[in-house]
Structures are given as structure tokens and as C-alpha cells.
Structure 1
Amino acid sequence: MPCIAIVKPAHAVCAAVRAGTRRGVNVSDLLALPVEVGAAVRQRRLFHPAGVLARGRIERIAPPGQGLPIEDGDVIGRVSKAVGLPGSVPDVAGLAWRMTIDDRPWDVLLATTALNRFLLLPTTSWDNTTYSSLMPLRYQGGVWWLRARLTTKLDRPGLSLDSITDRLGRGDLEYSVEQAAGTGQFGPLARLTLSEVIPPDHDLSFDPTLNTAPGVALTPGWLTDFRRAAYRRSREGRDAE
């Protein structure tokens, strides 16, 4: 198969395309191939390439056994922009964090949405916006949605990542995390606090399709399969673990 003529870096793109031809004909895997090629060209994530990684904590507010099994513990979080547009240009904002449940990593990824729970919406600021899981999670026979809101007031308007870094240099970022059963109303679940910036030469590959709590799974299955293939292709495209 001929290689794709792209200046940066052509050998990585060719390898990504050849790898795709060697795999089976799984539809989700084939549809996710552009993600690998894009990551190879950019040498970073195709989506949410720009972000701030930070250490923090999550504290459960909901009563034990009510809803999703989030527990108190340390987290690594990431605040990001989907397209990576510069400065304060509007973009889809992202919030991700990794916690540990029963000695297993659990990744949660949220993005800014419109009034519903699954339509992505660009935003002009980090606060006054809602971050949604976009897909519900199945747990103990029920379906649950997650959303979050930044409760910390930022001094600088706009959507610059510098404002996130500056704030974390002076104090914490706090988010209110909520859950809803099916089409029901959202209620308090946890408080997420990001406190310490991790140097930009470190990275963490979040994958909510692989890293999840026991008994918790994204739904529907066909969309989860596609996302799993896309995350894997993204890691392969940029040679990340």
C-alpha cells in the first residue's frame, strides 16, 4: 500500500496505515484508523492535545451505596481543550481524572455539553459551564450519568490554559461532581480537587473503556467498542502507553 505524503512525520503515518491493513476487518477498528494517523502526524493526541495535568483528591459526598461506587482517594486530573485552539479562543473544554477503586485504575472523561447530556458544545470559559460524560455508565442493573461544574472562581476570563496553571500555582481548583439515574435529576456525588501541577513533560493516557471500576461499564456497547479502538489507535499513533 502506498504511503501518505505528509511532511511530518511520514514514516509514522505510513506505519500507522500499514498496521491498520494488517489487522482484521473489525468495523470499529477501521473507523478509528484516522485517529491513529492524526496522532502520528501531530505526535500527540488528535483530540484534547493541549491540557494541564495535576494531582488532587476526590471526596465522596453521596451516601455509601447510593449510585456509582466513587470513593475517597487520590487522583490525577487533566483540564484540556478538544481542538487545542490557542489562547482564549472558544473550544470544547475537557475534564478527566484517574482514581483507584479496589486497586484498579478508573478513568472518567467529561466534556462541555449543551442543555442535553451528549451534544458537545464549545465554551468561552472554564467556569459557568457543564462537563458531561457524554455516554452513560451501566452499574448494578442501572444506567447512570455523570457531570461536573467548576466551583472555583477564576481571576481571568476566557479559555486559556494559562489561567488554569496560574490558579493551581496559587490554590486549588474544585469541581462539584454529580450523578443521575437514567433520565432522573442530578444530585451530589463527590467533590474533585486539583492541587498540584505535574510538569508538562509527563503525560497520562486516559481510557474510560479499559480503566473502569468493577461492575461499571460505558454503554451502549457499540459506541464503547468504537471509543476503545479510537483510544488505542491514538496511543499507537503517538507511541504512548
Structure 2
Amino acid sequence: MKISDVASWPVQLGAAARHRRLFHPSGVLARGSLERTSPIGRGLPVYSCDVVGRLSKGVGTADSLPDIAGLAWRLPPQLSGTPWDVLLASTLAGNRFLLWPANSWAGITFSSLMPMRFEGTLWWLRARLNTQFDGSGLSLTSVNAQLERGGMEFDIEQSSISGEFEPLARLVLREKLPHGRDVSFDPVLHTAAGVRLVPDWLTDVRRVTYHRSRIGRSAE
């Protein structure tokens, strides 16, 4: 049995017990747009388009309690024929892969946690909220209120494995989608042509884990 199978079985059982995602079970889904600000051909092949995004709490703590914050968005199919799902999570400030619980939506640094290989270069992604956020704590209710007040804007940045972060795109979430609507984000199954997460062994763990999670909650 491979390590990916061993790691994924608890996720399937947990999702089955909760009848929803084991990780990031609580979230707000919204329509929005992504605008590329970096010159075409520089770095990852992100393109300007309408997107569906999700802000979530990793463990699902109640109300405004601290948690691992999640930010995900789906770009519609382009050259690859499949959508492109990008998933980021809150990390310790200045760190690319160390998960860290956030106390508030303001001031979070979201990271891809794993680099993406594209045309022979490894690229990291991060996002930072660029909107004055009135809500206190890490409450999803405050996210709903902020969307009603005009939306939330994020600066998306990229960095080569040895370089500094630079502007890549601007993400704006504007309109909350109806309660009960869901999207099964999967950054391994849904990716842009020529883009893949590395290292391969960890990508395989994530691939099987997301698959088991969907089976556990009957989403596949």
C-alpha cells in the first residue's frame, strides 16, 4: 500500500462522518473576477477571467475563533479543457509552507504551500487581502457582510524558487453564491496545461486525499 493510500483513508472516514469536507468544511462561495497584471509570458499562465472563489476555515472552528484560513478560486477551462483550481492557506508571515492559524481576515498571507512547475521553472503563489476589512476575528459572517458592502480584493503574487515575490494578478470576490451551492476544488485534478504541483510524492498524496474526501462525503 502506498503512502498516499495510508494518508488518505482517515480523510475519507472523517468526511463520511461529517458528511462534508474534513478540512475547510466551512466556507463562503462567491462570484468574482481575476485580472492579470503581470506581462503575458512572465511566470505562471494565469489569465484574466470570471472566477468562482471560496474563503474558508480549515478546521471549522466556531464563530470568530482562530483557524487556518483558506482561499481558493477556479478559473474556467482554457487550453487544457479543464478548469484550473488554485488553493491557498494561511501561513506564518514571511513563510511559504508553514501553516499558521489566523486571528482575523485582515493581514493574512495566503500561500500555495507547494511550488508549481511551469516550463522548467518552479513558482510559488501567495495572496494578500487588499481591502479594509471591518469584521473582527475570523468569522465567516463578517465575510458575508463584506461581500454585501462591496466585495473583497486580493493581490496575487508569484515568485520563482530563488526570486522575490512580484505582482501577478488581482482577485476580486463580489457576490455570494446561494447557500448549499458547492464546488469540489482540486488543485491536482484541475490544473492549467503544463502546470503541475511538486514534489511528485506529495502531489500524489494530495491527489488521493482529495479523491477520498469526495467519496467520503458522496461528492463523487
Task: Say whether the 8 Å CA contact 2:27–2:55 is kept in structure 1.
Answer: yes
Q: What is the Cα deviation at residue 88 of structure 1?
A: 1.1
C-alpha root-mean-square deviation of aligned residues, in Å?
0.9
Q: TM-score, normalised by structure 2?
A: 0.97
* Alignment partner, residue 196 of structure 1: 175
The equivalent of 2:109 in structure 1 is 130
Correspondence 1:111 to 2:89: yes
- Which consecutive unaligned segments of at least 5 residues does structure 2 have? none
Instruction: For 1:59, give the aligned amino acid.
Output: E
Aligned ranges 1:152-167 → 2 under 5 Å: 152-167=131-146
User: Is it true that 1:182 corresponds to 2:161 in the alignment?
Assistant: yes
The corresponding residue for 2:50 is: 74
Residues 183-238 of structure 1 deviation map (CA, whole Å, 9 limit, x = unaligned): 21000000001011011211110000010000000000000000001000000000
TM-superposition CA deviations, 1:27-47 (whole Å, max 9, x none): 312321000000000000000
1:40 alignment partner in structure 2: 16
Runs of 4+ in 1 over 2 A off after TM superposition: 100-104
Structure 1: runs of 5 or more not aligned: 1-24
SS in structure 1 of the partner of residue 105 of structure 2 = coil
Q: Report the secondary structure of 2:83's partner residue.
A: strand
What amino acid does structure 1 have at the position aligned with 2:6?
Answer: L
The answer on 1:30 being equivalent to 2:9 is: no
State whether residues 36 and 47 of structure 2, in contact with CA within 8 Å, keep that contact through their aligned partners in structure 1: yes
Higher relative contact order (CA 8 A, sep 6+): 2
Q: Deviations over 1:79-123 (max 9, x none)?
A: 000001011111110000000232420000000001310000001
Residue 221 of structure 1 pairs with residue 190 of structure 2: no
Counterpart-to-counterpart distance in 1, 2:135 and 2:212: 36
> Could you tell me which amino acid in structure 1 is paired with residue 148 of structure 2?
G
- Tell whether the 8 Å contact from 2:135 to 2:143 is kept in structure 1 after alignment: no
SS of residue paired to 2:113: coil
Out of 25, 41, 55, the residue aligned to residue 31 of structure 2 is 55
CA offsets per residue over residues 144-190 of structure 1, 9 Å max, x none? 00000010111121110001001111212100000001121000000
TM-score scaled to structure 1, two decimals?
0.88
Aligned residue for 2:41?
65
Q: Secondary structure at the match of 1:117?
A: coil
Name the SS of the counterpart of 1:104 in structure 2.
coil
Residues in 2 aligned to 1:34 and 1:225: alpha-carbon distance in whole angstroms: 16
d(CA) in 2 for partners of 1:74 and 1:167?
19
DSSP-derived class of the 1:192 partner: strand
Cα distance in 2, alignment partners of residues 131 and 224 from structure 1:
19
Find the structure with the greater CA-based Rg: 1
Counterpart-to-counterpart distance in 2, 1:204 and 1:30:
26
Aligned position for 1:19: none
> How many aligned positions are there?
217
Amino acid at match of 2:68: V
Give secondary structure in 2 for the equivalent of 1:98: strand
Sequence identity percentage: 57
